[in-house]
Amino acid sequence: VVRMVEEAQGTKVPIQEFADRVTSVFVPIVIGIAVFTLLLWALAGGPLRGVLEGVQGVLPWVDPTLSAATLALVATISVLVIACPCALGLATPTALMVGSGIGAENGILIRNGAAIQTMREVHVVVFDKTGTLTLGKPEITDIVPLGEDEATLLRLAATAEAGSEHPIGRAVVEGARRRGATVATPEAFEALRGRGIAARVDGRDILVGSARLLRERGIEIAPGEAQVARLEGEAKTTMLVAADGRLIGVLAVADPIKEETTEAIAALHALGLQTAMLTGDNRRTAEAIARRAGIDHVVAEVLPDGKVAEIRRLQEVHGMVAMVGDGINDAPALTQANVGIAIGTGTDIAIEAADITLVRGDLWGVVSAVKLSRATFRKIRQNLFWASIYNLIMIPLAILGLMHPALAEVAMATSSITVVTNANLLRRTNIRGK
């Protein structure tokens, strides 16, 4: 998992700030305009002096009696002062600073400004299932013995899962104990990534996992297929239990979706976003949960490296993609996504791999993050407008000598104050999901 995270980090393209590109072009242009102003006054000082004489009554600071060299110098200095790109330099970072502060106040921790910028361009939000859309606290709901009695089936499965750290494995152990089963330590244990577990219990070889796992081991699953289809259609996760190469039963586990899931997904749709669910669970269960939550696209039965491939596929089809997850297996996909969003109640590696962390683990935080991103960049665009409008109006006046350097300084300072004040008005924006 760590290796895949590092690979995804190496392929992620950093985002260039628009204001930096503008400034890199703007500064040499202004210097060129200043030189042009100096040459203009040197070559056409007479006609320009006449312009000053005509407006002297309206603009009392204009003094056409100054020498040609002084007028040229005043005009050139005014151009340089009024065009000082302070406001352009402040436009983006002030809005990002205020935006990230608002995010923190609402339980949205943003690791870098690029995440805010990218979030507003996202077209699809992809959710992990367990612990993200659901509570992450599965419980045994059904026990279907096939060839063994219920107590034996439950004891063998729970003892085999005693070595597992997976939430479903823990649910089997806890459910067995609540039902009075004796759970021992398995004689041998192996976690089979994305498939289930293999263990040795009471001298018997036990498999607990997906139909894929049993098929790979050559075990006939036909006796339980009807029960599996029924349970999965009820949005339950099923596990087949085999002992010594024979299917002995089916266990079903349910993980209820979070209270806010359906409303949060609807709010994302209202914002014009598509949603997808990415899970290692079986397709029937995944589709049943997706229907309840209102998810648009379902990608089921995927391994951790498969999640990364699916994120890449969605990026190719839809463009910018955000991924929301909480588990170790989600970390590579969180890094591959344009914006990775970690549930704060999840694992440390998922939080470390993500660009944004939702401290409260509430899916309304995803809605708030989208709103915050869009509001922040509205302010950035407004700031760039105010930073530019002063230059567009004042530079021509400065070239003609109608702007005193002191007034140019006031106008330049005013543009910076306007930008900072406008950025702080972002605090009035309501980004709460509900």
Record the tokens describing residue 253, joined without a space. 């586990």
Asked if 87 contacts 383 with a C-beta cutoff of 8 angstroms, the reply is: yes
Q: Within 13 Å, how many C-alpha atoms sit on residue 103's CB side?
A: 30
Asked if 134 contacts 167 with a C-beta cutoff of 8 angstroms, the reply is: no
Record the tokens describing residue 250, joined without a space. 């089916």
Rounded to whole angstroms, how far apart are CA atoms 398 and 267? 50
Whole-number CA gyration radius for the chain:
32
Asked if 250 contacts 236 with a C-beta cutoff of 8 angstroms, the reply is: no
Q: What region, left, alpha or beta, does residue 244 occupy, with left being phi > 0 and alpha being psi -120 to 50 degrees?
A: left
Q: Within 13 Å, how many C-alpha atoms sit on residue 332's CB side?
A: 19
Q: Which of 128, 255, 281, 326 is catalytic?
A: 128
- Which DSSP letter does residue 133 get? I
Active site residue 348: no
Rounded to whole angstroms, how far apart are CA atoms 106 and 288? 32
Please give the C-alpha separations between residue 393 and each of 402, 412, 415, 430, in angstroms, as whole numbers: 12, 12, 12, 34
For 365, counting Cβ atoms within 10 Å of its Cβ (0-12 exposed, 13-18 middle, 19+ buried), the class is: buried
Please give the C-alpha separations between residue 338 and each of 248, 358, 422, in angstroms, as whole numbers: 45, 17, 28
Active site residues per annotation? 128
